[in-house]
Amino acid sequence: MLLATVAPVISISTYDEVFVDDSGLGEGHFDTIAEALTRVNPGGNVHIAAGTHSVGTGIIIDFDVSILGAGADITFVESTGDQAFWIQNANVKIDGLSLTSNGNAIAINLFGHYTVEISNNKISGNNLNGIYANILGTPTSPDGLDLLTEEDLIISLTNNEIYSNTSSGIKVICGQDDGEVHITDCSIHNNGMEGVSIEGVSGSTAFNISNNEIYSNGEHTYNTGIYVFDEQEHSILLDINNNYIHDEAGSGIEIDCHSNGISIFLFSFFIDDMVRIYQNDIISNERDGIYLGFNIYYESIYVLLDSETEDEVPYPCCISVFQNDLASNGYNGIYAIINKHTEFIPLEGDPQGSEHELFLFQLMTLAENNIYDNTSYGIQVYSTGDEYPDSPNEGTVDGAYNIYALSPYLVYRNEIYDNKSGGLAISGGLSYVINNLITANFSLPGDLDQGMPSAGILLSNALSMVRNNTVLANMEGVNVSESEMLLINNIIVDNFYCGVNAGGCPRSGYLDLDGDGSYEIYNNDVWNNTVNYNNIMDYTGYDGNISEDPLFYGIFDARLAGASPCIDAGMKDEEEIVFEDIEGTTRPQGRGIDMGCYEMPDNEWSPKWVQPLAMVSMANANSMWSCIMQNLPGEMDPEVEAMIEEVQDIMAQAGTLGVNPIYQNGLMYQALDVLERLNEKLECGCHS
């Protein structure tokens, strides 16, 4: 009898842990990465030994797996095709490899909506991007795969060195709602175009870019360290912090976006954009430190006037740039262009039976930045679009709506100094300029681009409140033209040309929105400028304005000495706009608010912490005085004699005020300043 032959079933073993080293070592060991990936269980680990490994034209990874190298300095993965790894709809970790594609390739391709971690790798020498992530809801792939999933997305790119790729170091095209992309602790340098490039198509993926060093990208293309481009009207969620961005061929950070801005309707509001750039060092880039270009769209913006919860509505900020160091950039420290577009949609009915008014929100905040030694201005802001369009009466309920579309910019507690063209320039828009130290921004006529004046604060076609700033030793102090300005509690001294140049603006009511230009000037100290007031009357002695030496602590210290006439001399802050000074000290400390950006301790009673400082200052002054007296020449010119008399007068005052260490310490700083100049003139070689 004939029996049927049954072919034996061949079982292929799979493993949770596989190794790419030498198949001769036994089960779970393989010669190639491709073979190991066919034998690892989903969720398992592929361990790649030191050495050079080829993946041919690239490997598609479409299941959960971790690929772990022995270290990026000793484990090399090379591809001759379009990519080394192409991750599709899978939870994947790639760690400890050096990845290179020899073709027109992308080292790592990320498609889908899963958790992907790329860490501790070196990614270089690719003919396109180092890492390319397409995180669209329905991305298009070369083989036509439909990659749509309903999963949330988290991509983490951590502690990688990404360099010498022909295009961008990291390029992300995003469109997934509720996703997250984290780029942290990476070194991204010497790529042909951007260090990090983000293009938004739709959705609201949130980006965190932090603790990276990004430098020397775009050498021949003038590209940027971090570039964000979005031509659609939708959400932008960016958090860029604690990066060191330097020596870029273009700007350090460039964001060029369209957005829906903010839509608000009867207390329910949605912030479409949230951009935060903070605690970065952005140094020595060939163009701007930070470039911001936004088209902002508003629609249906109303808030109830008489509701008990009115005061609980927050004042959100769309764009925040704070606590950055921006220095030695080829253009501006910060350059922003904001184009605003307003669309009003009348309500069909009024269920509350109340009047309505625009929700006043803060569009952009530039705060607590240290901005210095940039070639153009420290900050330039340009704004276009209607600030206060007429209220639409047709279609509203009994014409009960007042709509002004005011979106203020807040420039707050910045130190802006030694910029070549000027300190702060604002053109258009409603701005609050508060508690800034703006000093030594200086350019002679003819050295400026576009014929702009050189000033500590330059306002044109703007609505501006300028309050509690110290504007010191610039070409001009405040230059304002065709604007409406409220100037309160500022110290404007020692500017080369003029203190306040009003450009012929007529005086009129406070922020008269219908006028061509107006100003109000209260409680300022405008002193020792070549011309204190230009094109307007001298306000000294009117409306609390003075013209006296503010008595700074020293040449490089704009805090107020105890005897300063600016202490307690400012206008009361009824709206609590300036409740802290530039250092975070609560205002007021004494009987009133101090002029300038610093609020000094209450001078009615000397705080104990000043006593040791005053004693040290007195000792230093006495030591230098004794040394200079021992080295006086036999004959002294009149200038030297005048300086000696000035020191004697100051020290005599300090002796009579010895019971008050605040006054005493301030006077000692003045005495030391004169003694330093006297020492330099006489070449005594004395030291305090």
Q: Which has more confidence, 129 or 259? A: 129
Lowest-pLDDT range of 33-37, 183-187, 406-410, 658-662: 658-662
Q: What is the pLDDT of residue 523?
A: 96
Helix then strand then coil, % of the chain, to nearest 5: 10, 40, 50
Residue 496: pLDDT over 80? yes
Band of pLDDT at residue 312, cut at 50, 70 and 90: very low
Residue 629: the pLDDT is 79
Q: What is the pLDDT of residue 676?
A: 85
463, two tokens: 């609505």
HEC string for 248-289: CCCCCEEEEEEECCEEEECCEEEECEEEEEECCEEECCCCCC
What are φ and ψ of residue 645, in 5° steps?
A: -65, -35
Least confident residue range of 83-97, 167-181, 261-275, 460-474 = 261-275
pLDDT, greater one: 619 or 77? 77
Q: Which residues pair with 320 in a beta bridge?
A: 276, 365
pLDDT at 2: 43
Please tell me the predicted confidence (pLDDT) of residue 651: 73
Any idea which residue has 């996703």 for tokens? 179
Average pLDDT over residues 349-364: 48
* Over residues 308-326, mean pLDDT: 63
**Residue of 603 and 454 predicted with greater confidence:** 454
Instruction: Count other C-beta atoms under 10 Å from residue 593's C-beta.
Output: 25
| SS3 state of residue 540 | coil
Is residue 557 scored above 50 in pLDDT?
yes
Task: Give the pLDDT confidence score for residue 193 in this predicted structure.
Answer: 93
DSSP per residue, 286-354: SS-SEEEEEEEEEEEE-EESS-TTGGGS---EEEEEES-EEES-SS-SEEEEEEEEEE----S--TT--
Given a cut of 70, whether residue 138 has pLDDT beyond it is no
Residue 602 pLDDT? 62
Residue 680 scores a pLDDT above 90: no
Residue 298 has pLDDT above 60, yes or no: no
pLDDT over 60 (residue 555): yes
| pLDDT tens readout for residues 640-664 | 888 888 887 877 776 554 445 556 6
Pick from 137-151, 202-216, 228-242: least confident: 137-151
pLDDT at 330: 95
Quote the CA–CA distance of 464 and 446 in Å, as a whole number: 27
Q: Determine the average pLDDT of the residues in 16-25.
A: 91
Instruction: State the burial class of residue 663 (Cβ atoms within 10 Å of its Cβ: 0-12, 13-18, 19+).
Output: buried
User: Across-strand partners of 79?
Assistant: 101
- Residues contacting residue 360 through CB under 8 Å, at least 6 positions apart: 315, 404, 406, 407, 408
Mean pLDDT of 117-136: 88
Q: How would residue 505 be classed by pLDDT, with cut points 50, 70 and 90?
A: very low
28-37, 85-94, 146-155, 320-329: least confidently modelled range = 146-155
pLDDT reported for residue 156: 94
Q: Are 116 and 91 contacting, i.e. CB atoms less than 8 angstroms apart?
A: yes
The confidence band for 176, taking pLDDT boundaries of 50, 70 and 90, is: low
pLDDT, tens digit, 9 for 90 and up, residues 194-210: 999 998 755 667 899 99
State the distance between the two ends of the chain, measured CA to CA, in whole angstroms: 118
What confidence score (pLDDT) does residue 607 get?
41
Q: Supply the DSSP symbol for 225.
A: S
Percentage with pLDDT > 90 across the chain: 42
Whole-number pLDDT of residue 110: 55
Tokens 């030695």 belong to 328
Q: What is the rounded average pLDDT of the residues 249-277?
A: 64
Percentage of residues in the chain with pLDDT exceeding 70? 71
**Angle between the N-to-C axes of helices 661-682 and 638-656, in degrees from 0 to 180, rounded to the nearest 10:** 160
Per-residue pLDDT band for 63 (boundaries 50, 70, 90) equals very high
* pLDDT at residue 259, rounded to an integer: 56
pLDDT at 147 over 50: no
Q: Are 525 and 550 in contact (CB under 8 A)?
A: yes
Torsions phi, psi of 38, nearest 5? -80, -10
The string of pLDDT tens digits covering residues 159-174 is 999 999 999 999 988 7
pLDDT tens by residue, 75-84: 999 988 878 8
Q: How does residue 568 score in pLDDT terms, banded at 50, 70 and 90? A: very high
Where does the pLDDT of residue 150 fall: very low under 50, low under 70, confident under 90, or very high at 90 and above? very low
Instruction: Provide the 8-state DSSP code for 129.
Output: -
> 526, 500 in Cβ contact below 8 A?
yes
